[in-house]
Amino acid sequence: MKDKLNKMLEKYPAAVFKNRKEHIIVKEADSEQPQSITANTRTVPGIITNRGCCYAGCKGVVLGPLRDAVVLTHGPIGCGYYTWGTRRNKGRTEGDELNLLNYCFSTDLQEGDIVFGGEKKLRQAITEAVEIFKPKSIMICSTCPVGLIGDDINAVANWAQKEYGIQVLAFSCEGYKGVSQSGGHHIANNGLIKHIIGTGERAVGKYSINLLGEYNIGGDGWEIERVLKKIGYDIVSVMTGNGTVEELKNAHMAQLNVVQCHRSINYIGEMMQTKYGTDWIKVNFIGIKSTMKSLRDMAVYFDDPDLMARTEEVIAEEFSEIAPIMEEYKKICQGKTAALFVGGSRAHHYQLLLEDLGVETVLAGYEFAHRDDYEGREVLSTIKEDADSKNIESLDIEPDSTHYRVVLSQERLEKIKDQIPLNYYEGMMKQMKNGSLVVDDLNHFETEELLKILKPDIFCSGIKDKYVAHKAGIFSKQLHSYDYSGPYAGFKGAVNFARDIAMGITTPSWKYVIPPWKTQPMLEGSLIGGK
């Protein structure tokens, strides 16, 4: 496999070859010297990357799913639509609550605004939003041209807050800031911890948690909440799928933070641990076995026999309902192979759900991960400088004098630290099979070449690269918005995913797609000819 990879990479110019070689590794047998991968570096100019930008991470991922806030894009309409129309964040309201997810708010900057400045148009947009929707909060997210022309969105936010008496926050998340989407996650996390979390005082229940890094794509969050509430958890807030600013204000009151997507939300998990003493635990509600493990880990943290018993009751009840159906789908999927190139933590999470179906993952990678997402958090101490730190503020967080508390005693922490992933994430690579490929920031050329080499039955990806696989006659499941399906989380979500995968790989349409390498003679220097 290494020889094939090197032949592929040798098609690059020498400088690019050296760069990309560090981003593609073959998982080898465990040894005293753990494998390392280069990640969170800027994409080589000229390469067609599948990454999103800093603005997409801030507005599109973290802030966009908040249903009660006007999340206003200050920039061209294309930026606003890109982070709105393709995400499929779902939201429900109760009573007369606002649900603004159906609206794409943008200042729609034109050429004249770029030349003469867009602050006037931003003030006008805020005025219209207040008059029409009467929101309690507005969040301004800036795009590339705004940073280039120098519009002062913080000054406009201060003006609007005084003018209308509501909370108006500015997020300077221009697309070129940071390495990729992860920089935008960081900016959004900073804003939430500085201005929103800790400003409420709602009473919480016995088993109170925040669900972090869950964005309710296709209804995932609702399915996770259904199971958690069935067990007896009080979900104080969700960051941020189907979430609200009003709920986030009370997040500091919860006893435990439950982290689904490590990359997009680990910043808040760490900052809340320092500021409020709230421990966080890495969970994965994608996959049957992984959902069971996550629920049991949460019960261990609270150390309550009644909660543990109720957890086992719910697991048994949920599993008995879906087991026969999953077995039927497994008969169809057993023995297939899959390649995963997805954002967030999905390239790790979905390996476990595919494993439930008997599908082997032969390649997995992230668009915008950091090394700890691959190798585990123990590598953080070895990273000299975060590549995002030049342009993105790193907050100096201290314990809150009013709300900081110790939830678990030191004795209890020592007892459970080897049982559950408390304040820790092991990364994706440790669970992958030897011989499989790990790829960071996969680009268009490499996608085509690796599909030729590996010939997976399934390629799980995002909207930008799914059609590369389709043209190669390979079924591609889009895991950023689920292609209008879902939910895929939890027990019932696993059945939905199994159904969609079984349908996708058995449809007869793929036999009518003939990729070029099956008909054209092998070219000199190419990796493979016909299948």
Burial of 477 (0-12, 13-18, 19+ CB in 10 A): buried
SS3 assignment, position 101: coil
Gap between the Cα atoms of 24 and 5, Å rounded: 8
Does the annotation mark 87 as catalytic?
A: yes
* Segment (H or E) for 276: helix 262-276
Question: Beta strand 24-26 with 437-440: parallel, antiparallel or unpaired?
Answer: antiparallel
Do 421 and 280 touch, CB atoms closer than 8 A? no
For 95, list phi and psi in degrees, rounded to 5: 65, -130
Looking at residue 509, what DSSP letter applies? G
For 217, list phi and psi in degrees, rounded to 5: -65, 125
Helices (H), 357-427: 371-375, 410-416
Does the annotation mark 460 as catalytic?
A: no
Do 88 and 65 touch, CB atoms closer than 8 A? no
Does the annotation mark 185 as catalytic?
A: yes
Give the angle subtended at the CA of 141 by the CAs of 61 and 343, to the nearest 5°: 20
User: Would you mind telling me the total number of residues written for the chain in this entry?
Assistant: 531
Instruction: Name the active-site residue from 20, 51, 185, 349.
Output: 185
Whether omega before 291 lies within 30 degrees of 0, making that bond cis, reads no
Instruction: Name the active-site residue from 20, 23, 39, 53.
Output: 53
Token pair recorded at residue 176: 């070129």
Does the annotation mark 370 as catalytic?
A: no
Burial of 523 (0-12, 13-18, 19+ CB in 10 A): exposed
Q: Name the CA radius of gyration of the chain, rounded.
A: 23
* Segment (H or E) for 25: strand 24-26
Q: Measured between alpha carbons, how far is residue 107 from residues 55, 78, 81, 112, 117 in Å?
A: 15, 11, 12, 13, 12
Q: What share of the chain is helix, strand, coil (3-state, %, to 5)?
A: 45, 15, 40
Instruction: Name the active-site residue from 23, 39, 54, 56.
Output: 56
Gap between the Cα atoms of 62 and 71, Å rounded: 11
Instruction: Name the active-site residue from 87, 262, 348, 370.
Output: 87
Question: Beta strand 167-171 with 234-240: parallel, antiparallel or unpaired?
Answer: unpaired
Among 231, 232, 244, 278, CA closest to 259: 278
List the strands of the sheet with 279-282, edge to edge: 234-240, 208-214, 256-259, 279-282
For the range 314-319, what are the long-range contacts, defined as Cβ-Cβ under 8 Å and sequence gap of 24 or more?
Answer: 314/227, 314/230, 314/231, 318/227, 318/490, 318/491, 318/492, 319/288, 319/292, 319/491
Diameter of the chain by CA atoms? 72
Give the amino acid at 2: K
Q: Which residues are catalytic?
A: 53, 56, 87, 185
